[in-house]
Structure formats: C-alpha cells, structure tokens
Structure 1
Amino acid sequence: MTLDLYALPVTHVSGVKGKKAEELLALGISSVGQLLDYYPFRYEDYTLRDLTQAKDGDRITVQGTIAGVPQVQMYGRTKSRMLLKIVVDNLFVTAVWFNRHFLKDKLTAGTDIILTGKWDQKRLHLTVSESEFPGARTSQTGTLQPVYSVSGSMTQKWLRQVMKQAVLQFGEMIPEVLPALLLRKYDMLPRKQAIVLLHLPGNMEQGQRARKRMVYEELFLFQLKMQAYRALNHSRADGVAHPLDLPGVRAFVRSLPFTLTESQKNVLAEILQDLQQPHSMNRLLQGDVGAGKTVVAAAALFAVVKAGYQGALMVPTEILAEQHKRSLDRLFEPYGIQTALLTGSLTDRQRRDLLASLQMGMIDVVVGTHALIQEDVFFRRLGLVVTDEQHRFGVQQRSILRHKGMNPDIMTMTATPIPRTLAITAFGDMDVSTLRELPKGRKPIKTYAVTHSMMERVMGFIGREVAEGRQAYVICPLIEESEKLDVQNAIDVHAQLQHAFPQYKVGLLHGRMTPAEKDDTMREFSEGRVHVLVSTTVIEVGVDVPNATLMIIYDADRFGLSQLHQLRGRVGRGEHQSYCVLIADPKNEVGKERLKAMTDTNDGFEIARRDLELRGPGDFFGTKQSGLPEFRLADMVTDFETMEQARDDAAELVRRSDFWTEAAFDSLREYLRREHILSGDLLD
C-alpha cells in the first residue's frame, strides 16, 4: 500500500517541529503532500556571468578581486551605505552595500569575492544583495535557487532547506497521476522527477521542463473535472424539461418596445432549447455593457413562468435589484406575472408576507440581493435561477440558491466580457453565450484622456451638459483624503462641485453610506432631481439612467481597464451623444496603456483582451471568488495553449468507454470521486 503523503503530517519532515510547523500551517501547509505541492514562483540564477555580456538592470552574479578599502557612510544610528572597488573581468566596478557595514573588516584588498546584485551599466555600479567568499561551505555560486512565497519570520533559506529535506525523504513516494498514454504523447517527465526538479533544478532548462509537466497536469485535472461533469450531467435526466409555450414566448418578444438584435435572438434560442431538456441548464451569458442581457433574461423568466414554474434573479446591490424589478414589472404587467423584491431593507412584517407568498407560489419571479439565499427562503416550484454580475457572488452563494429547487436551470450573466475561447476553457462546465451587438440607435461614447491641468475645461464641459438638461457622473477612487495616495476623493470633489455649480443639485454616493441613503441618492439621480452625481465605484454595476450623458473619472490611471469600461457604460444609454473624460497622471506608464485602450475602442471584448494582457487573469477577474480556478503554477494567459490541449485531451478521455472501467485510469477516477463529480453533485 502506498503512503498517502496528504495524510502524513508535515512534522514527519526532519527539521519541522513546533513553531516552524505553525508557520507552515499559516501558508496552508499541514501535510507532506501539501509541502511538496508548494512550488517556487521563480528562480534566482547564481551562475557566474561575464560582465561584458550583462545588460543594464540585470540581476547578476560575478567573481572579482577587492581593489581598495571600503568607504562607509552612516545615516542615523543603523542605516549605512558602503562602497568598494572590485576588479571584475578587467573592469573597475563599484560595489555598493546598504546596511551591511558590519562586513567592513572582512573586505581586505587582494581577496577574491563573489557578488550577486543589480547591475548599473552606465555607472559600472553593482548594488549588492548577497556576497560570499569562494569556497564557502554554504556557497550558492553556480546554482539555481528556488524562490517561494514566505510570510512572518520564515526565511527563504529555511524553506529551501526544508524542501530539500522533504524531497530526500519522500521524493520516491510521490505517486503518478497521469496515465501512460498522455506521458508518452507529450514525452513528459514522470511526476516524482518533475516535482523534485521544480524544487531542486540543476539548471533553468530542467526547471522549465518540470514546470511544463506540472502545468499540464494541473490544467488537465481541472479540465477532466469540467468535461466529466458535462458528460455526466448531459446524460442525467434530473432537471426540469419545461413544457414551453413557444408561440407565447414569440408573442412576448414581439410586444417588447424594441426589436431584439440578431445576437439576442440567437442567444434566446439557445436558452429556450436548454430549458426544454431534461438536464439542468448551466449557461454563462456574457455581453458588453448595454448589450441587452436583462431583456434576454426576462424572456427566459417569462417562458419558465408560463410553463408553471417560478424564477429568481439575484443581483449584487439593492439599487440594481430595484432597477431590475421596475424593468420586469414594465414587461410582465400585461401578462399578469407577479414579481417581488427581496432585499435586506424590508421590515419583518413585509419579509414574512413575501416569504409566505413565495412558498405558496403566489409570486412568479423574485428579484433580490444575497437575501435570496437565506435559510428561511423557500420556493413552491423554482425552475430558473438567473444571477447577474456573477463574479460578485461566491461559488457557495450560487450553490445555495441552486439547492432551493430540484436542480433548477441556471443562467449567470456578466458584463465583464471575457475573450470567448478563454470563457469556454475557464468555465468548462458551462455553455457560453455571447452578445456582441449593441441595440440599434446606440451612439458610440466619445472618450477623451486629459491631465489635471485641463480641469477648468472639464468643469466647463460639465456645466454645458447640465445646462442642456443632461446629467453627469463624477467618479473618484477614494471617499476621504488619504495621506498615502495623492488622489482626488469624493468628499472634496463633492464640495468643489457644489461651490462651482450652486444653481444645480450635486449628489454624493459612496460605500460608507447606509443602503437607504444610497437608494435615496440614486433614486433622486434617476428621477433627474440630482444633476451631478459624485460617486466612488459603487456606481459601477448595472445602473441605468438614460439622461446621464457625461462620465468624468478622476485619477483614471489608478483604475483597472475593465473597471473603466464598466464605468463608461453608465452613460450612452439614451438618445443623446455621450462622453467619457478620463483625468490622469501622464507619468503613469501602465495607466497610459489603459487610457490608450479606452480612447482607441468602445468594444468591451477588445478592452477585455488588452486588460488580460496588461494585468493577467487574477487581477482581470478581480476576486478569488470569481468562479475562475486558482492555479498553483499555471497562468491562464501564458499557458493558454496548454489549457486548450488539456481540455481536448480530457474531453477525448471521458468519451472513451475504457476510461470508466480500465485499471490504467484508476487514479483519475479516484480524483473525480474525491471532487464529488461521480457522486451526482452539481458543480459550482
């Protein structure tokens, strides 16, 4: 019987006891298996370099001879700067140590020394991070050293020693996970060899080969879970096959005050097809800001209600819940469909009455915030769950709502466009529908990037738009003044605008206000009683005020690209030309790239592609609860081709009959059992 390294406490590794074991636990490491899975995020190369080949800014290791006496400059009691001339490759180099003056007596002329640090080619300076003398017992010269994420008092040196010890003790016991046919297909290293080389690479080539093998494994296991779920779910008949009144749905669509785009029609057809199947729908509907996702959701809810079931629409904020409720009421009223609003603001009496009506089936569609997932909320016959801005809700929250019915159909919507191939791959368990077109008559928003020196012109622009009967948003990144960041804050900007426009009403909206205060302010703005709304990013999601035509964003270089696009999408919703003005620091290089993307295009999918390039998927999706996987090694941008390979391999494997029976795939089937894919659980 093989030893389960994940069941073996990490204290079995020599040198890990007491406080050290507690420090590892703080990193999420309690077993030997978890320790071996704690991979380095980069390597430091201590190979001796030829200075003539080094580039400015490189981190290099060189060997030279001390050619002078150390010069020490003290700053205060403990801070110091020490300079020393070293001859390296026939060049006189100035080595600089910070706060290492205690080394002074060891640095004698004529002695050879090995230095590692950052190279300044113009000044022939080397800022030293590490130094040693040749032949030192603990020398790192000529090696490749892993760099791990550490916290507290834990040091790289100690963690490297522990990893080395763990590899020596348990490296031979690391089990293989991938089947032989995949190892042969890609000529991959065996698992135990790959993990050993990740922690103790002889050279960069070995480290890269080991990483490639483990990245594939990580992505393959993720995709196997997705593909097995899809294969099993589509063969189950445990959902609701809704007996849809398709002519009635078509009549509802014809009654809308506007014509659906071709894109909306196609996506609605996909959803209606899903609703008639005996297995649960699990569909992601993504579309650019203003692409009309809510109308598609309304048609799906209409179809389900007319088939005799209830619908639920969960949104992240009360403002958005109220807005959706009003929109649905306008569309559903002629058909006698009863809607209700369930948020945290209801009185106890209102809540009790609403919950009773919901349980008795007197409410057809309930719109709500996370209040929908509380324990005392019951449905009579829940058929469809729609989640708006799905990345705002955790996996667990969505799962709770799903379990309030007998495997109801699930549709999640997002206005954060994800490149389609990435969406299909990352949300492998979901079918992905995409709305590309904007409704007819929408004018592109004109976007300008300006500096703070142009504020007078910006204020004039606000004044002109408001004088013509339009409204404006002014967005700030902070609520109050901060010593840490020199950025405009909402309270100061609100005061400035009140002073500049005494004839108009200037509102203020931020996250520290109570839900009731936020709702009152937003309602006043929606009804045109507030002319200029100063807000933090609480305004970002879904708010629809067609008369607002101007979006001003202070310190725009400090916002993410997708967030800027979301904010811009708050205007351009009516018949009048709309504008977005981005005020930014011209010296912020990353910010400049974002602003260029914003002024170049209004296409959310192009914005998403550039944001992914600039920031990577972790920041792009903004939250660990986005529903996207968290990988230890793999990167969803740079390893995208490997992800596609892994997806194809996993899909092919689960289609094979021998995968479900042969001993060669035992470890993979056991993995699916551990992940509850084979137990009938629905995947979130």
Structure 2
Amino acid sequence: MLQDSIINVKGIGEKFADDLQSLNISTIEDLLFYFPSRYDVVEILPLSELIHEDKVTIEGRVLNTPSLSFFGRKKSRLTFNVEVENVAIKAVMFNRAFAKKQLNMGDTVTLTGKWDAHRLQITVSNYQKGSLERSSDIQPIYSVRGDVTSYRLKKAIQQAIHDYGNEIEEILPRDLLASYKIPSRNKAVKTMHFPKSRQALKHARRRFTYEEFLLFQLKIQILRKRRREATAGNEQVYDDIKLNQFIDQFPFKLTNAQSKSLNQILSDMKSPYRMNRLLQGDVGSGKTAVAAIALYASITAKKQGALMVPTEILAEQHFQSLQDMFGDLVRVELLTGSVKGKKRREILQDLADDRVNILVGTHALIQDDVIFKDLGLVVVDEQHRFGVEQRRALSNKGLYPDVLFMTATPIPRTLAITAFGDMDVSVIDEMPAGRKEIETYWTKANTFDRVLRFIEKHIADGEQAYIICPLIEESDKLDIQDAVDLYNQLIEYYPPAIRVGLMHGRLHASEKDEVMKQFAANEVQVLVSTTVVEVGVNVPNATIMVIYDAERFGLSQLHQLRGRVGRGDKQSYCILIADPKSETGKERMRIMTETNNGFELSEQDLKLRGPGDFFGTKQSGLPEFKVADMIHDYRALETARDDASEIIEFNLLETDSTYRNLRNLLEKEGVFDTVLD
C-alpha cells in the first residue's frame, strides 16, 4: 500500500501529484519520509531580550481594530497595535487582507516575525489567535519548490499519516530498539513531522540517524563480503625469515604505528581473500618503508609487485628509493610514458617472463601490453587519484592481486568509515624519532619583504624555498596574489645568482617535470607554484614553504603543502601569509600554527568546512543522509558500523527472523544485485 501513488491520498489531485514529483515524491512512502529540512523552535522571550532584526515570537492583546490599506495589484498592508508587558507594539502584515476579519480588539494573538527594536514594531510572517499551544512550539520547515507550498505539503503529510501511518513496518529488531531506547518506526515518522516536544523530536531523529547509518554500513559490508568471497584462493605464502632479515637491515627501527600497520597488511596477504586496504599516514611517517616490506613479502611468496603513482617524477623518485632499499635482493624496473622503444620492449618481455620483481610506474602500468607473469600485490600511492576504472583494468587482465592504497591526506576517522567503508583502514599516526617539527608562522602581506629576506638568508646557506599562490594569472574578481605576477616580481627582486622557477597546472607534464628536476637538483632555488606541487617530489634541501593568501586553502591542503618541506635534517619553516576576514579563516590560521598533527588538523578541517568540501567538489562517493550528520553523529556512525559487522559476521539477515524486514528492505534497494568491479 505504501508503494501506491500519492494520488490515493485524500486531497491530492493530479495537478498537485505532478507538482510533488518535482520533490521526488511519487509514492505514499515518499511522502511519509519527506522529512522537514529544519525546525523553528518558537519561544516567547521578554521584550528586553529580543534582538533587533531577529525573528521573534511575541504574545499580546489586540488594542485596536486593524487598519487595511491597498497598494498595487493584490498588495495590501494590515496594521494594528498589540499590548505586550504594558507596552504598545505595532504589528504590520503584508498581503493578509483576510486577517482583518479574523482579528478583533481585545483578542489574544501570538505573532512571529522580524523585530525592529528602534520602532517597537514586528513585521509578521506568521500569526495565530490565542496563546501558544505547547504542541505548536516546534514548527517543521520543509524544503519546497514550484507550486508546492509548505502549507499544502504539511496538510498532505498529515492526511497520509492519518490514513497510512500504521502501515509503516518496523525494520529494526526489537532487541535493538530496546537496547538503544529508540521509538518505533511509525511513531518516529509522526514525530519527525509533528513533534510534541523537543525530547520526542530528539529521540525520533536519533532513531533515523541510527537507521540511516546502519543501512549504509550494511550495504558497504555486504559488498565487501561479496568482494572478498569473489577472490578466494588469493593467499600469499611469504617467507618470514627472509622478511625479518630485510626489516633488520633498515637503518632505523620501525615505529609502533608502522609495525601495527605492517602486521595488518601481512595478515591480509596471508588470508585467502583479496586485500583492499587503505594505508593512511602523514607526510614523512614512513608509509613507503611499510609498502616496500609488503612488496618484498609478495616476492618471497614467488609473486610480482607493482607500485603505481600519479606522476612521472614521483615514479622516478619511488623507483630510486626502492632500488636503494633492495639493492641486489630484487629487480626493480621503472615504466612511464617516457620509457620507449627497445628499453620498453625489454622491460615488458622480462616482466612477462617473471624476471622483473617489482614494476614502478604511472598509469602506464595498466596499459594492454603490460603483462605480469603473476602479480601478487599492487601498491597505489595517493589513492584518491586512482579510480575504479583503473582498478577494473587490472581485474580485466585476469589479475586479482592484493591492493594497498596509500594516502598522505589524513582522513578523519568518520570520513574513513564512510567514504572508504568497503576498505580496511590502517593508520600510521606517529612520526619517526628525531624528526624535527616544522615551525609554522602566520603573518600579513605587509611583511612580505621580511619574508623574502628570510628566504635569501637561508638560500645563502644552501637551502631552497617554495612560494605557493592560489591562482595562475591575475583575476579581476579576486584580490589575491597570482603565480605569474609573483614570479615576475621575484626575478626583479633577487640577484641573478638566485634562480626563480615557475610551476602551474597549465604547463605540459614534461615542462612540470623539467621544472621539478631543476628544483630537485638545486638549479632553481625559489620555486613559485600553484598547488600542483602538493603531491610532489622529495626535495630534502627545501626548508621554507611560503603560502600566499593562505586563508583561501583548507587546513588539510595547507598541511599537505607544509609537508613538502621538513624532508631533510635541517630545521624547516612554513610561513602563512593571510589576512582572513572571517572568524573561521582566523581559526584556521591559528590551528595551523599550533599543531603539526595531520589527523588532528583533518578533524578540525571537517568541523570547519563540512564533509562535502573535504575531498573537493568532485568527490561524489559520500552518501547524502536525510537526517544523519557524519560529523555531529559520529558516535552513532561507529555504533552502526559495529552492529553491521556483527549482523554480517553472524549472518543474522539470513538466520534470524527478527531481521527479515531489514533484509527485505535491502533486497528492495537492490543491494544483493550490485555488480562487483
């Protein structure tokens, strides 16, 4: 019945039904679950506490017969005085001519509207005769468009609840309802639309927050279970003795966080299921060392490894560092777009014949002519740049290797659970011993001369600097420093001995690589760049990061940029040049100067910016919840995740009859029909 058309609801004709389609309401169920976007809590405060130009509610006695005047076509103005706390308040209503007949001298009225403290006047948006009833002190506000008005929508929902409310089936088992003290589904729906108290609304919202998170987590974990089962027989039997010998020859001891992450990865590789793990760690936390050990484990299991990175220069850097780590133990080769002709043919032949152990490269690794003999592990650096299509390309070659994604973008726990729910997540949240913290300072643009002199002094000691700008070329709309203009200024400012380089997104890939190679070789001492340098090469000699118009960047991006320095043993500095006008902007600068911990910053960034902005506008993997909020309701998210794990682990959807309705809902949404990539 709830799947029937809304035309069956009394009072909804064909025209109104068509209008409701614009809100994606076509069935009775859609109407019942079209929750308010927010609530206005009506509270009558004393006149002395009313704030000028705020929306307020007052209650008083009508002192005179309302006066009505017309202006323009169908436009009217109704005015009258009400007595509140022995003070005469002027009430003004626009386009409510009908109210003249309803309001009489001596009536008690409750008025809501914009308060003018100077004139003692209220411009009324809502009114009712009599005192405020307790049941009406929380006003639901619906998101509407076109010809659909809040009033008509509310009336339709009221009718639907009256006629069909009892048909809303409970989908949660009784033990969960009792355990979390949450109301039944049909009672919670009624409360969401017509709350009797703040407490009742709080519990109804709590119920739907948990329900939304649980359904989402179940979908993810069902998908994850099916993925695992689809790749059974993926076990890698590696050589423990050789692996420990390799780890012992490192010039440093692994941190506790590195060891924990490594054990999780090795356990996945040893299991019969395909690994799908995300390794998070701040810049410099030692992710590459962990990845190298995992790659070596795969080689001792008689398999091959691959390391895929987003840019050629990063591929070259990883190739060099893996060669340094492995020496003669394994054969590492580099495959990028620049490797052509005979050299490329030789590498591909040796790869197919199992004479290459590890192949490092860009997306060139997944081209059709790249054929591995037996690929055991793929490590993908900066995983957010590597999409589902590339992952599918590996599977299409008949390869189902274990996959380890790495990112230096510290993702808040709540987002990791949500956006990467189908992955296991390992976190390296401590830095190697003895590493110097980057000193971070915030200054205004009028001190830029001092900043340039500071850079010059450090260049004289053989060091280098980055200067980051948000724009490539000057914009009329934004008063912010641009990279080209700044580059030209610095060429004039510094003597010829100090070479200034320029890098931005409009340069061709080969031009970018050339600039970065010159910077890495210290042929360029100051690199002016846009944020394309964010995921870049390791230049231990670069000790200063200056970020112009820093208020235009999010905390996570600022932290990523800061991570480009501090790679060597010299003290490094990050200088933020910013003049933020908003409190949020000032708070962002303050947080940056106070902490170097990427995970702490990412949590703060999430609070300041919201999840939609965290990955940038192109990130579409985040679900949209009607009621739940990932940031404020993170405890409910974690609870739902744990409950979903238990439901899947013990197969309760199949074996426990109290979960039948939950399974039916998931089936209806096609969860069990999803095509695996």
TM-score normalised per structure 2: 0.82
- SS of the residue aligned with 1:335? coil
1:85 shift after superposition: 8.4
Could you say which residue in structure 1 is the equivalent of 2:429? 436
Could you say which residue in structure 2 is the equivalent of 1:511? 505
Counterpart selection for 1:570 from 545, 564, 574: 564
2: distance between equivalents of 1:257 and 1:420?
32
1:401 shift after superposition: 4.4
Could you say which residue in structure 2 is the equivalent of 1:417? 410
Deviations 1:627-673 (A, max 9, x none): 55543322223212222332343344445466532322223334555
- Is the CA contact 2:19–2:148 (under 8 Å) kept in the aligned structure 1? no
Could you say which residue in structure 2 is the equivalent of 1:249? 243
Q: Matched residues, percent identical?
A: 48
Written as runs of structure 1 = structure 2, the 5 A alignment for 1:340-489 is 340-342=334-336, 361=354, 363-370=356-363, 379-394=372-387, 398=391, 401=394, 404-418=397-411, 423=416, 427=420, 429-489=422-482
1:107 shift after superposition: 9.6
Deviations 1:223-262 (A, max 9, x none): 3345556777778880421121223223333444554334
Cα pair distance change 1:187/1:508, threshold 3 Å: same
1: distance between equivalents of 2:564 and 2:90?
56
Could you say which residue in structure 1 is the equivalent of 2:576? 582
Residue 506 of structure 2 aligns with an amino acid whose one-letter code is R
Q: Unaligned stretches of 5+ in structure 1?
A: 75-80
Could you say which residue in structure 1 is the equivalent of 2:74? none
Q: Does 1:61 align with 2:57?
A: yes
Q: Does 1:279 align with 2:273?
A: yes
Cα pair distance change 1:84/1:222, threshold 3 Å: same
Residue 382 of structure 1 aligns with an amino acid whose one-letter code is L
Cα pair distance change 1:560/1:231, threshold 3 Å: same
1:322 shift after superposition: 3.9
1: distance between equivalents of 2:364 and 2:64?
73
- SS of the residue aligned with 2:182? coil
2: distance between equivalents of 1:183 and 1:625?
34
2: distance between equivalents of 1:349 and 1:303?
31
2: distance between equivalents of 1:350 and 1:170?
72
Q: Does 1:189 align with 2:167?
A: no
Could you say which residue in structure 2 is the equivalent of 1:78? none
- Is the CA contact 2:235–2:271 (under 8 Å) kept in the aligned structure 1? yes
Residue 454 of structure 1 aligns with an amino acid whose one-letter code is T
2: distance between equivalents of 1:532 and 1:20?
64
Cα pair distance change 1:622/1:146, threshold 3 Å: farther
Written as runs of structure 1 = structure 2, the 5 A alignment for 1:190-229 is 190-225=184-219
- Is the CA contact 2:2–2:28 (under 8 Å) kept in the aligned structure 1? no
- Is the CA contact 1:325–1:341 (under 8 Å) kept in the aligned structure 2? no
Could you say which residue in structure 2 is the equivalent of 1:596? 590
Counterpart selection for 1:238 from 222, 232, 236: 232
- SS of the residue aligned with 2:328? helix
Could you say which residue in structure 2 is the equivalent of 1:339? 333
Could you say which residue in structure 2 is the equivalent of 1:554? 548
Cα pair distance change 1:515/1:53, threshold 3 Å: same
2: distance between equivalents of 1:516 and 1:428?
37
1:452 shift after superposition: 1.7
Counterpart selection for 1:523 from 511, 517, 520: 517
2: distance between equivalents of 1:32 and 1:355?
60
2: distance between equivalents of 1:407 and 1:547?
40
1:444 shift after superposition: 0.9
Counterpart selection for 1:293 from 277, 287, 294: 287
Return 642-651 or 545-554, whichever deviates more.
642-651
Could you say which residue in structure 2 is the equivalent of 1:494? 487
Return 389-398 or 186-195, whichever deviates more.
389-398
1: distance between equivalents of 2:181 and 2:654?
24
1:216 shift after superposition: 0.9
Could you say which residue in structure 1 is the equivalent of 2:657? 663
- Is the CA contact 2:605–2:614 (under 8 Å) kept in the aligned structure 1? yes
Written as runs of structure 1 = structure 2, the 5 A alignment for 1:34-73 is 34=30, 36-46=32-42, 50-54=46-50, 58-63=54-59
- Is the CA contact 2:335–2:364 (under 8 Å) kept in the aligned structure 1? no
- SS of the residue aligned with 1:529? coil
1: distance between equivalents of 2:565 and 2:666?
46
Counterpart selection for 1:634 from 610, 624, 628: 628
Could you say which residue in structure 2 is the equivalent of 1:608? 602
Cα pair distance change 1:107/1:30, threshold 3 Å: closer
- Is the CA contact 2:7–2:17 (under 8 Å) kept in the aligned structure 1? no
Deviations 1:53-81 (A, max 9, x none): 545775323356699999x9x9xxxxxx9
Cα pair distance change 1:666/1:93, threshold 3 Å: same
1:354 shift after superposition: 6.9
Return 145-154 or 508-517, whichever deviates more.
145-154
- Is the CA contact 2:2–2:164 (under 8 Å) kept in the aligned structure 1? no
Could you say which residue in structure 1 is the equivalent of 2:125? 130
1: distance between equivalents of 2:178 and 2:606?
33
1: distance between equivalents of 2:346 and 2:92?
74
Cα pair distance change 1:564/1:150, threshold 3 Å: farther
Cα pair distance change 1:164/1:518, threshold 3 Å: farther
- Is the CA contact 1:387–1:412 (under 8 Å) kept in the aligned structure 2? yes
- SS of the residue aligned with 2:307? strand
- Is the CA contact 1:115–1:128 (under 8 Å) kept in the aligned structure 2? no
Cα pair distance change 1:110/1:631, threshold 3 Å: closer
CA RMSD of aligned residues (A): 4.5
1:218 shift after superposition: 1.2
Cα pair distance change 1:467/1:84, threshold 3 Å: farther
Deviations 1:453-504 (A, max 9, x none): 2122112112222222211111122222333332222222222222212422
1: distance between equivalents of 2:13 and 2:333?
60
2: distance between equivalents of 1:31 and 1:413?
44
1: distance between equivalents of 2:147 and 2:435?
57
